[in-house]
């Protein structure tokens, strides 16, 4: 599945609910559905700086594609990590860099986040894009 299909799937998944309460529950379900985060990668170097909660994002680069593992100690934030991992996982660095997180606004998630969580989301996106840039530069080497 390509990134456009994944963002469309996320939009369909959330837009089926009319109120934020149901979308909030769906967000929590996404977090619960994350793959188990590797305990040996629960290090400071994989922590996302700028999040009030603890958030870890660990990337693997195989065969020109980036695979993300994520986790958080906060249930709602873990759901946000779940959305980002669902969309940006198993993509090329170029695909990651070309796909803006506009889908989050389209499903109403960003408008319901506190300032601290919005800053944390921006920090997560920055980290994902930074990993993509690093892996892209490694491809050229």
Q: Is the predicted pLDDT of residue 24 greater than 70, yes or no? A: yes
How far apart are the C-alpha atoms of 121 and 123, rounded to whole Å? 5
Confidence of residue 116 (pLDDT cuts 50, 70, 90): confident
What's the pLDDT score for residue 13? 92
CB 112 within 8 A of CB 80: no
Bigger pLDDT: 139 vs 17: 17
How far apart are the C-alpha atoms of 77 and 97, rounded to whole Å? 22
- Longest Cα pair distance anywhere in the chain, in angstroms? 48
Q: Is the predicted pLDDT of residue 133 greater than 90, yes or no? A: yes
Q: Is the predicted pLDDT of residue 42 greater than 70, yes or no? A: yes
Q: Residue 114: name the closest of 53, 28, 42 by CA.
A: 53
Indicate if 84 belongs to the active site: no
- Which whole-number Å values give the CA distances from 123 to 12, 13, 43, 94, 117, in the listed order? 25, 24, 17, 19, 10
Q: Residue 78: name the closest of 22, 21, 23, 28 by CA.
A: 28
Bigger pLDDT: 139 vs 90: 90
Beta-carbon contacts of residue 18 (< 8 Å; ≥ 6 apart): none
Query: pLDDT tens digits for 57-102?
Result: 999 999 999 999 999 999 999 999 999 999 999 999 999 999 999 9
Which residue among the candidates 3, 10, 30, 51 is catalytic per the annotation? 51
Q: Is the predicted pLDDT of residue 141 greater than 80, yes or no? A: no
CATH pick for 3-140 out of 3.40.1160.10, 3.90.1010.10, 1.10.3720.10, 3.40.50.620: 3.90.1010.10
Confidence of residue 9 (pLDDT cuts 50, 70, 90): very high
């Amino acid at each position: 599945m390509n990134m456009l299909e994944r963002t469309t799937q996320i939009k369909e998944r959330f837009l089926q609910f009319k109120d934020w309460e149901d979308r909030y529950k769906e967000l929590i379900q996404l977090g619960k559905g994350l793959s188990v985060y590797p305990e040996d990668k629960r290090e400071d170097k994989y922590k996302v700086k700028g999040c009030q909660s603890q958030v870890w994002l660990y990337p693997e680069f195989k065969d020109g594609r980036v695979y993300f593992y994520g986790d958080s100690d906060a249930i709602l934030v873990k759901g946000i990590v779940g959305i980002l991992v669902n969309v940006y996982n198993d993509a090329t660095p170029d695909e990651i860099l070309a796909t803006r997180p506009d889908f989050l606004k389209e499903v109403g998630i960003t408008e319901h986040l506190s300032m601290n969580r919005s800053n944390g989301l921006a920090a997560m996106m920055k980290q994902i894009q930074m990993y993509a840039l690093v892996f892209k530069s490694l491809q050229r080497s």
